[in-house]
Amino acid sequence: IQSTTCYRRMVWNTCDTLYSNIVTIEIVPDPTITIESDKETVCADEPVTLTSELIGGTGNCTVQWQINKVSVAVSNPNWRDLSTGENLNYSLSNSISDSTFHFRSRVTCDGNSCNIATSNVQSILFNAVPILTSNLADTTVCAGSTLTFMANCKNGDLLWSDRSSGSLISIQPTETR
């Protein structure tokens, strides 16, 4: 909503009163922008969609999406531009550990210096996908022989079929199935 205010000056003394010309000042409110995410927690490699809602602004407006891997603070210098547009689809390649990333959008509109706004911040937790490495392979052994298997798991818990949880398991098969 724009509003207009008019101003003029008046000067007077005992001899006369004088009025200046009328100056009209147009008051243009800043636009506002809010964002929201379709998910607060996702698995790495799974996309998350953020949408923006712009209210106000005059002229052509551009929504710039930004990410910060460190802080939600508006003044933090780690905000990095991602892309422009009303919506943002973002996915994170699998990482070593769970990571929270912060997103915001900034809008700049043509017309005058009032047309700038920064949105709220949405924080998204990207859970790392488990990675399993092992030396498991089909093998032939004699009954009663001991086999030792090794497995390592990043970003998850390791559990063997006998419910043990160490990285090594030794078995002595006594019969075939």
| pLDDT tens-digit map of 59-69 | 788 999 999 99
| pLDDT tens-digit map of 63-91 | 999 999 999 998 899 999 999 999 999 98
Which residue from 115, 123, 125 is spatially nearest to 33, judged by alpha carbons? Answer: 115
| pLDDT tens-digit map of 93-119 | 876 677 899 999 999 888 766 778 999
| pLDDT tens-digit map of 135-151 | 766 667 777 777 777 77
